[in-house]
Amino acid sequence: MIRVRDLHKTYGHGGQDVHALRGVDLSVDEGQLVVLKGRSGAGKTTLLRLIAGLLRPDSGTIEVAGHAVTGAKDAELVELRRSTVGVIHQDFALLPLLTAEENVGLPLRITRVPTADRDARVSELLDRVRLSGHARQRPDEMSGGQQQRIAIARALASRPPLLLADEPTAQLDSETGASVMELIRALVVDEGTTVVVATHDPALESFADAVVHLEDGRLS
């Protein structure tokens, strides 16, 4: 599902270069849940954003589901994220003026899925994340755990085969975080979704098929 080879990414910072990634190689097979561990600033978010085509690397190659991400045009990367890669952001990234069902349905509205099909998919997803009774609530009317579940449902709206989750439990208490990870794990078991979770929380390792460590821009 993911093939990363010799990936490099450097940022300029106050006149000094910050080497976020230094020759990273990573392979993730279909149907795996991989935990990407590392402390804050290790380069985890950078790696996920590069895989999703949200950033461009300085050098190296990335393939996702057989598609070349490096070198792809912007329009091709947008289509990749619409059809192949779902992204769960650390800060949930829900639109505050939209209800839960409207946030979940937004990707389907953008791709002009017929209303009846869109409504059915949204209902199915809200039921899956156990929030059917919160469909008309806005983000500020929900707990952090509920918001994260809505963010997961939205990321799954287009049935992407790959899900990238950036610190999905960072803002949650341990019990709520475990329930979110159980939901993510169920996606792998029930639907064969491939998942990469970036985290600094060692408790999440128990949900993984494989754990890789990122430190100072290098995987181990």
Q: Please indicate, yes or no, if residue 78 is contained in any of the structural domains.
A: no
* Predicted confidence (pLDDT) per residue in 146-178, tens digit: 999 899 999 999 999 999 999 988 888 888 888
Q: Please indicate, yes or no, if residue 80 is contained in any of the structural domains.
A: no
Q: Please indicate, yes or no, if residue 102 is contained in any of the structural domains.
A: yes
* Predicted confidence (pLDDT) per residue in 9-52, tens digit: 998 866 678 889 999 999 999 999 999 998 888 899 999 999 99
On average, the pLDDT of the chain sits at: 92
Rounded to 10 deg, the angle between the 144-155 and 174-191 helix axes is 20
In angstroms, rounded to a whole number, what is the distance separating the alpha carbons of residues 141 and 149?
Answer: 14
CA dihedral 160, 212, 93, 57 (to 10 degrees): -80
* Predicted confidence (pLDDT) per residue in 87-102, tens digit: 998 888 899 999 999 9
pLDDT at 18: 82
Q: Phi/psi of residue 65, each to 5°?
A: 50, 40
Summarize the confidence of residues 109-116 as an average pLDDT: 93
User: Which residues constitute the domain of residue 105?
Assistant: 93-159
Per the structure, the count of domains in the chain is: 1
Q: Quick one: CA dihedral 83, 188, 172, 38, positive or negative?
A: negative
Q: Please indicate, yes or no, if residue 176 is contained in any of the structural domains.
A: no
Residue 165 near residue 196, CB atoms below 8 Å: yes
Q: What is the pTM of this model?
A: 0.90
In angstroms, rounded to a whole number, what is the distance separating the alpha carbons of residues 80 and 186?
Answer: 23
Q: Please indicate, yes or no, if residue 127 is contained in any of the structural domains.
A: yes
Q: Please indicate, yes or no, if residue 148 is contained in any of the structural domains.
A: yes
In angstroms, rounded to a whole number, what is the distance separating the alpha carbons of residues 7 and 19?
Answer: 11
